[in-house]
Chains A and B, each alone.
Chain A
Amino acid sequence: MQATRRSFLSRTLAGAVVGGALAIGLTAAPAAAEALDDILKAGVIKIAVPQDFPPFGSVGTDLKPVGYDIDVANLIAKGLGVKAELVPVSSANRIPYLQTKKVDLVISSLGKNPDREKVIDFSVAYAPFFNGIFGPADVKVEKVEDIAGMTVGVTRGSVEDLELTKVAPPTADIKRYEDNNSTISAFLSGQVKVVATGNVVAAAILARNPPKKPTVKVLIKNSPCYVGLNKDEPKLLEKVNAILTAAKADGALEKISEKWLGAPLPKDL
């Protein structure tokens, strides 16, 4: 409804500039207006990317965002033949950015769940991702019930937060932090005993060779990453899916996976 009205208006305005007759023609066109048309016209696609979530997105030495998601964002922009404008977001505000049209796509290691599916649409999966409970080697956790009475750090609003909240025993003390950096800090400083987070976050902690090494204890959820789009934009969705499918077939996505995750794409992705 909102999208329809906005593009109706923009079309009317654009039409008014071009000429009266054209304006009538455009406004008379069916109201199935598309973000894709606006993007192609502008020559720029605004994409929300993470900046605190290596290897999907972080700030490189030249202060520009780098990572898996950034490479995929550029891949999609290239596929559309437009310029990518990257907008850094946090995991808590990425969906509001999309809903308020500050961005056209969210490529921010976004997992799928029914709550989110109510408010936005998803492309096909573009990256492997799983969540688990991670802890130091000397902490014994074999199943999710074992975290009873333990402090568990998690990033608020993330998929692992929603899943952990569902499956955690009631005595588990879940501490929710604003972003992944805070969750990692809480774990490394000993403020929480274990963390519920993604495979890649744990890998990123390990890459920095900390005194406390997080190892996977329990798998909570396998949740590949999808590109998030606003609802009722079938043409954009179709195009994004086509670009991703082609990238899977020609090995472009495989290369990105090897580069950032050090592993090939899973067969079932």
Chain B
Amino acid sequence: MAYSFDFSSLADYGPVLAKGVAITVELIVVGGALGVGLGIACAWAKALGPRWLRPIVSAYVELIRNTPFLIQLFFIFFGLPAIGVGLTEMQAAILAMVINLGAYACEIIRAGIEATPRGQFEAGASLAMSPIQTFRHVVLVPALQKIWPALTSQIVIVMFGSAVCSQISVEELTFAANFIQSRTFRAFESYIVATVLYLLLAVLLRQVMRGLGLFLFPRRRKTT
């Protein structure tokens, strides 16, 4: 099959792609940070929180982990306005990503917490640290350190999931690729460009997470 590539027809759409990359980055930075925050809170609630809170968090985690992201997104964007909660497409996208990542991150971080020896809690308590201090310094940081690679992968997966947000007219990278494809009919070229950009973003994101890991867990510097 002869196919003559024509990337020149994409040249006019540089700004569309640049905007797409910027919005994808925005989604993953805001969604990733808030999602991990939610994940930590839920992991705490599930592993160490008050007994009444645990089934509520479990229900949330199971609900999100057993339904498709696209449905969650449509529910928030097209469903909620029926009860008067009208979010813009960006708000809906970020909310959906936070809720989604929160559930997965919760389970990953909880695994890290449960892998922390019981004696470590007791050691914290014996140093007269409050439960919150113990959780923050003695439990959470070593737990995050243990599961950092898994958490990194989950955030990358959520970044790829952000492609779905193009369905509710968020003008992120996949939207840009689809937009260019529907204007130029150059599907092969459009998606090659999008693929390369996603690859670069994923590599960059992993490097940022690695750097963040080195910063958060300085003791590990020797071993990594």
Interface pair B185/A119, CB less than 8 Å apart: yes
Please indicate the chain B residues that have their CB under 8 angstroms from the CB of A177 in the complex: 167-169
Interface string of B30-66 (1 = CB under 8 A from A): 0000000000000000000000000000000000000
Please indicate the chain B residues that have their CB under 8 angstroms from the CB of A99 in the complex: 185
Q: Given that A115-B185, A157-B182 are contacting pairs, would A182 and B167 also be in contact in the complex, using a CB cutoff of 8 Å?
A: yes
A178 within 8 Å of B (CB atoms): yes
Interface pair A191/B78, CB less than 8 Å apart: yes
Interface pair B2/A96, CB less than 8 Å apart: no
A2 within 8 Å of B (CB atoms): yes
Please indicate the chain A residues that have their CB under 8 angstroms from the CB of B2 in the complex: 1-2, 5
Q: How many residues of B contact A (CB 8 A)?
A: 23
Please indicate the chain A residues that have their CB under 8 angstroms from the CB of B82 in the complex: 189
Q: Given that A5-B2, A176-B169, A177-B169 are contacting pairs, would A157 and B86 also be in contact in the complex, using a CB cutoff of 8 Å?
A: no
User: In the complex, what's the smallest C-beta–C-beta distance from A192 to chain B, in angstroms?
Assistant: 9
In the bound complex, how far is the Cα of B169 from the Cα of A186, in angstroms? 10
A185 within 8 Å of B (CB atoms): yes
B152 within 8 Å of A (CB atoms): no
Task: Across the interface, name the chain B residue whose C-beta is closest to A120.
Answer: B185
- List residues of A (213-240) whose CB comes within 8 Å of B's CBs: none
Please indicate the chain B residues that have their CB under 8 angstroms from the CB of A2 in the complex: 1-2
User: In the complex, what's the smallest C-beta–C-beta distance from B68 to chain A, in angstroms?
Assistant: 15
Interface string of A193-204 (1 = CB under 8 A from B): 000000000000
A248 within 8 Å of B (CB atoms): no
Interface string of B165-177 (1 = CB under 8 A from A): 0111101000100
Interface pair A190/B168, CB less than 8 Å apart: no
Q: Given that A156-B182, A182-B167, A182-B168 are contacting pairs, would A96 and B78 also be in contact in the complex, using a CB cutoff of 8 Å?
A: no
Please indicate the chain B residues that have their CB under 8 angstroms from the CB of A116 in the complex: 185
Q: Within the complex, which residue of B81, B166, B184, B185 is in contact with A191, where a contact is CB–CB below 8 Å?
A: B81
Q: How many residues of A contact B (CB 8 A)?
A: 25
Interface pair A115/B183, CB less than 8 Å apart: yes
Please indicate the chain A residues that have their CB under 8 angstroms from the CB of B175 in the complex: 176
A72 within 8 Å of B (CB atoms): no
Interface pair B169/A175, CB less than 8 Å apart: yes
- List residues of B (163-210) whose CB comes within 8 Å of A's CBs: 166-169, 171, 175, 178-179, 181-185, 187
A95 within 8 Å of B (CB atoms): yes
Q: Given that A176-B179, A178-B166, A182-B168 are contacting pairs, would A189 and B1 also be in contact in the complex, using a CB cutoff of 8 Å?
A: no
In the bound complex, how far is the Cα of B185 from the Cα of A177, in angstroms? 17
In the bound complex, how far is the Cα of B89 from the Cα of A176, in angstroms? 11
Interface string of B77-93 (1 = CB under 8 A from A): 11101100010010000
In the bound complex, how far is the Cα of B166 from the Cα of A119, in angstroms? 26
A14 within 8 Å of B (CB atoms): no
16 A-B pairs besides A96-B187, A190-B81, A191-B89 with CB distance below 8 A are A92-B178, A116-B185, A153-B169, A156-B178, A157-B178, A157-B179, A157-B181, A176-B179, A177-B168, A182-B168, A186-B168, A189-B77, A189-B82, A190-B86, A191-B77, A191-B78
A-B contact pairs, 18 of them (CB 8 A): A2-B2, A92-B181, A96-B181, A156-B178, A157-B179, A157-B182, A157-B183, A161-B182, A177-B168, A177-B169, A178-B178, A182-B167, A186-B168, A189-B78, A190-B81, A190-B86, A191-B81, A191-B89
Among all A-B residue pairs, the 5 with the closest Cβ atoms: A157-B182, A175-B169, A189-B81, A185-B78, A189-B78
